[in-house]
Amino acid sequence: MPSRTAVSQRKKSSATHPALTDADVASLRAKLSAGEKPRVIVRAASAAVPSGTRGNVIRLGNPSEGEFIVVRLGRDEVPFAPSELALTTRPKNAATASAPAPAKRSASAPKKTAARTTTTTTPAKTTATASKSTRGRARGRSGRKTPPPLTVTLRFGDGTWTVEAQRGARRLARASALRPGAVKAFADHVDEPAVREALTETVESCRAVVEERAAKLRAELSAAEAALKEYEAGRR
């Protein structure tokens, strides 16, 4: 269980840096599309990443994944949820607009009522902070980071198969030739019938063309050898 001091520090960090809103995420996505690498702040500390750590957003995935904002921290690429991050700078008017207006205290309301309201809301904030701390410890204990998505592209054109691979934004291998036999072996392990049939049909079609060409070459070679024998017979 985290100490009261650690919880207090994390609460202070979260309060100082508001979590990313939908508008903030949209702004980050627009900056990435423009070629920028916007900076963000880690709001809540974990065993692996202290609060207040700054990094550059390098990729945005699908929001349905939860932790879809990938931030480069040093040499690591770590995914976060919007609630775990904050902008490094925020316009004053935006901060003022997002903060709820304080409720006016009624002159006739007794002071005990205001004190009771404060006591009710405080445990809720503490519980939320403790929950985030527990999640951070769980990620730290695993010692694993989610690798960037791997994209493998298989192409066919002009009778040739090529394959290339990319890990996140980094290219692992340029397009290189792939043997038809390897494509056929891959097709045999594809569960989707439509994809398997398309791959197999393309491989077999190319094979038929090559077989026809080989038969013509064999016929030409046979005719040439027969003509050569006639020349040899004339010399004798």
Mean pLDDT of 200-228: 90
Mark whether 132 and 225 lie in a shared domain: no
Cα 114 to chain centroid distance, Å, stands at 47
Integer Cα distance of 32 and 30 in angstroms: 5
Mark whether 136 and 32 lie in a shared domain: yes
Q: What is the DSSP letter of 185?
A: H
Judge whether 79 lies within some domain: yes
The pairs formed by 138-144 with CB atoms below 8 angstroms and a separation of 24 or more are 139/46, 139/47, 139/48, 140/46, 140/47, 140/48, 141/47
Backbone Cα Rg of the chain: 32
- pLDDT single digits (tens) 62-83: 888 888 999 898 888 889 899 8
Mean pLDDT of 106-114: 44
Judge whether 155 lies within some domain: no
Mark whether 13 and 76 lie in a shared domain: yes
Range of the domain at 80: 4-99+120-142
pLDDT of residue 219: 94
Judge whether 87 lies within some domain: yes
Task: Dig out the tokens for 192 from the structure.
Answer: 């989707």
Cα angle for residues 153, 65, 165 (degrees, 5° grid): 15
User: Residue 5's pLDDT band (boundaries 50, 70, 90)?
Assistant: very low
Phi, psi of 228 (to 5 degrees): -65, -40
Phi, psi of 149 (to 5 degrees): -65, 145
Mean pLDDT of 9-24: 70
Mark whether 43 and 131 lie in a shared domain: yes
pLDDT of residue 236: 67
User: Residue 90's pLDDT band (boundaries 50, 70, 90)?
Assistant: low
- DSSP string across 101-148: PPPPPPTTS-HHHHHHHHHHHHHHHHHHHHHHHHHHHHHHHHT--PPP
Res 92 pLDDT > 80: no
Share of the chain above pLDDT 70, in %: 69
Integer Cα distance of 103 and 101 in angstroms: 6
- pTM higher than 0.75: no
Phi, psi of 94 (to 5 degrees): -70, -40
Judge whether 41 lies within some domain: yes
Mark whether 132 and 188 lie in a shared domain: no
Mark whether 130 and 189 lie in a shared domain: no
- pLDDT single digits (tens) 115-144: 444 444 444 443 444 444 445 544 545 556
φ/ψ region of 233 (left if φ > 0, alpha if ψ in -120 to 50, else beta) reads alpha
pLDDT of residue 148: 83
User: Residue 221's pLDDT band (boundaries 50, 70, 90)?
Assistant: very high
**Helix or strand or coil: residue 234?**
helix
Res 158 pLDDT > 70: yes
Q: Which residues of 114-151 are buried (b: 16+ CB within 10 A; e: fewer)?
A: eeeeeeeeeeeeeeebbebbeebbebeeeeeeeebeee
Share of the chain above pLDDT 90, in %: 25
Mark whether 136 and 210 lie in a shared domain: no
